[in-house]
Amino acid sequence: MSRHTRRRSPLRVRLLTAGAGIVAAAAAVATVTVASADEPGGPAAQSAKAGADHAVFVQGNELDGNTIHAFRRGKDGALSAAGRYATGGKGGDQVDAPTDSLASQGSLVYDDASGLLLAVNAGSGTVTSFRVDGQRLTHRQVVDSGGYFPSSIAVYGNLAYVMNAGGSGSVQGFRITASGLKPVRGSQRSLGLENARVPLFSSSPGQVAFTPDGRALAVTTKSANTIEVFPVRRDGRPAHRAVVNDSVGGVPFAITFDKSGRMLVAEAEKSTVSTYKVRADGRLKAVQRPLANGQDTLCWLERAGDFFYGGNTGNSTVTGYRTDRHGRLALTNDVGVATPPSAKSQGVIDLAVTQDEKFLYVQNAVSGTVDGFRVGRDGSLTKVTTATGLPAFAESGMEGIAAV
């Protein structure tokens, strides 16, 4: 057996138990108009003409045809529907997924340098790129992901790497060009998994991420309890073999980085976050051992300045963290809840932070909603909006969110 299948992850039992306690909301019918990615007269284009240049994009991950739901973002953070765009591929649903169909972070990514929005089509084994113009998406391009069930994307400079979660798993590199994504020859690396083409959610990899200096590519593997780091060469290709680091916390899922370049990893087993220094050879040194938040099934983690926010899907809460001047992580309050959940905020999954770090947007998979929060100077969150009518989790459901 592969080293990735020797340990049985406790995430499956934990998440299935938590998911069983959530009453699934009926999937609401989206009220936005479906527009072609190249159609100039859609509602998104009208909004752009009105001078609005901020947006939030949500990946619907529909099994019969994946779409991107576009929202205008007002100065106060409020969201209003602005269009829906077909990706040209199909969404996916991992085996036994309780609330999150893709079981990953980073399935929808906006690259500010190129102005491209990148989306995975897990059910088709493809990746779609759009050019972003306000809330309007144009110049759609679809490319093969190089594997089965793509579920996460990482970008650094003109490089984009896609993580394929199905089969043996892999990472595949692309160049970001004026005409979209172009495969980097000789860049594909296997993750050595033993999944089916549609993976079991608890044994699929959680995220691919570049280090802030672009010199390494990291992948979390939930069931193997490892963080695998590929040093990246100057030609943009990874080392042939990953440096395999044991996770100090159970079931590593999401990755983010602090201002000093230290790696923070969210761990689902006990809802903890661990902090690492990334060495040049790909080895990780734990500089802060798992910090528990007292919540249920922490999977997602994003940074907003000196603050970090984690999504706890088991009890539908968001936890706030802060770092001190020494880089040490602590909770923003004693109870580990930055904002109370509501009836319209069930099944918290992926999160996105605006570029100015003033707003946080949270997907609620079971409710089919997105909540928007203003980030306070002390890290507190104040709800400013709730967008409804998105694909709620049932056979599948939305996953992936990006703020522009």
CATH number of the domain that residue 134 is part of: 2.130.10.10
Across residues 43-53, what is the average pLDDT?
45
Q: Which three-class secondary structure state does DSSP give residue 184?
A: coil
Amino acid at 273: V
Evaluate whether 29 touches 367 at the Cβ level (below 8 Å).
no
pLDDT of residue 24: 33
Per-residue pLDDT of 150-164, as tens digits, reads 999 999 999 999 999
Look at the chain and report how many structural domains it folds into: 1
Per-residue pLDDT of 300-311, as tens digits, reads 999 999 999 999
Strand partners, 388: none
Per-residue pLDDT of 76-91, as tens digits, reads 999 999 999 999 999 9
Give the C-alpha separation, 216 to 402, whole Å: 23
Q: Is the pLDDT of residue 12 over 50?
A: no
C-alpha separations of 134 from 5, 106, 118, 361 in Å? 44, 21, 15, 18
- H/E element, 71: strand 67-73
Tokens of 168: 């043996």
Which structural domain, as residue segments, surrounds residue 276? 3-403
Evaluate whether 260 touches 328 at the Cβ level (below 8 Å).
no
Amino acid at 382: T
Across residues 332-338, what is the average pLDDT?
92
Angle among Cα 249, 295, 358 to the nearest 5 degrees reads 95
Evaluate whether 335 touches 294 at the Cβ level (below 8 Å).
yes
Give the C-alpha separation, 223 to 203, whole Å: 5
Q: Is the dihedral of CA 44, 47, 51, 57 positive or negative?
A: negative
Evaluate whether 253 touches 267 at the Cβ level (below 8 Å).
yes
**% of residues, the chain, pLDDT over 70:** 87
Q: What is the DSSP letter of 373?
A: E
Lowest mean pLDDT among 25-34, 82-91, 165-174, 333-342: 25-34
Evaluate whether 94 touches 198 at the Cβ level (below 8 Å).
yes
- H/E element, 249: none
Give the C-alpha separation, 397 to 93, whole Å: 8
Residue predicted with more confidence, 41 or 99: 99
Highest mean pLDDT among 10-14, 28-32, 374-378: 374-378
Query: Which band of pLDDT confidence, cut at 50, 70 and 90, is reported for residue 326?
Result: confident
User: Taking all residues of the chain, what is their mean pLDDT, rounded to a whole number?
Assistant: 89
pLDDT of residue 32: 33
Evaluate whether 331 touches 293 at the Cβ level (below 8 Å).
yes
pLDDT of residue 101: 96
pLDDT of residue 4: 39
Prediction pTM value:
0.88
pLDDT of residue 44: 39
Query: Which band of pLDDT confidence, cut at 50, 70 and 90, is reported for residue 52?
Result: low
